[in-house]
Amino acid sequence: MVIFVMGIFGYHNLLYGQANSSFGMIVNDEYKLKFLELKAKRNYRFIVFRIEEKIQEVTVEKVGQPEESYDDFASSLPADECRHAVYDFDFTTDENCQKSKIFFIAWSPDTSRVRSKMLYASTKDRIKRELDGIQVELQATDPSEMSIDIVRSRSL
C-alpha cells in the first residue's frame, strides 16, 4: 500500500528527499543589511542578488553606486541566468515633486535553466518578505519587460 503524505514539503520533495527550496534556503544577513543601506541611507542605486544553488543561500552579487544609471543596472543582469534585484528609482511627479520608489525585479530570462527558474520563483516571496520596504514588483523574462519606460509608468 502506498500512502502519499502532503505537508510542508509536498509529495514530490518527500519522494526525492529534498527540502522545499524557500523553506530550506539559508538567509544571509548581508543581503538584508545592504538593502537597509539602500533604503535608509541611499548608499546604493541597486542590488543584484544571486542564489547559490549548491548551498541554497542568497548572496549579494553586485551593488550599484548612487550615481549609476538604470542602464548600468539592466546591463548587470546576466542574459541567461535568473536573479533577484532591487532598484531605487528616482522620479518627478506631474506636480513637480521629487519621489523615489524601490522596485523588486524578478529576472528570469527565457534562456535560463528550468531548475534555476523554479528555484528563483519559489524563493521570490520569502526574499520580498525579508526586504521590508519594497513598493513595486516587476517580473521580466527579457529586457523589454523591464525597460525604463515600464519602470517609469509603474512608479506613478
Least confident range of 7-11, 59-63, 96-100, 136-140:
7-11
Answer with the residue of higher pLDDT: 28 or 88.
88
Least confident range of 3-12, 32-41, 74-83:
3-12
Mean pLDDT of the chain: 86
| Partners of residue 88 on adjacent β-strands | 102
Taking only the tens place, the pLDDT of each residue in 83-105 is: 999 999 999 999 999 999 999 99
* Percent of the chain surpassing pLDDT 90: 76
| pLDDT (0 to 100) of residue 26 | 75
Each domain of the chain, given as residue ranges in start order, spans 27-155
Instruction: Report the SS3 class of residue 14.
Output: helix
Assign domain 27-155 to its CATH superfamily.
Answer: Severin (3.40.20.10)
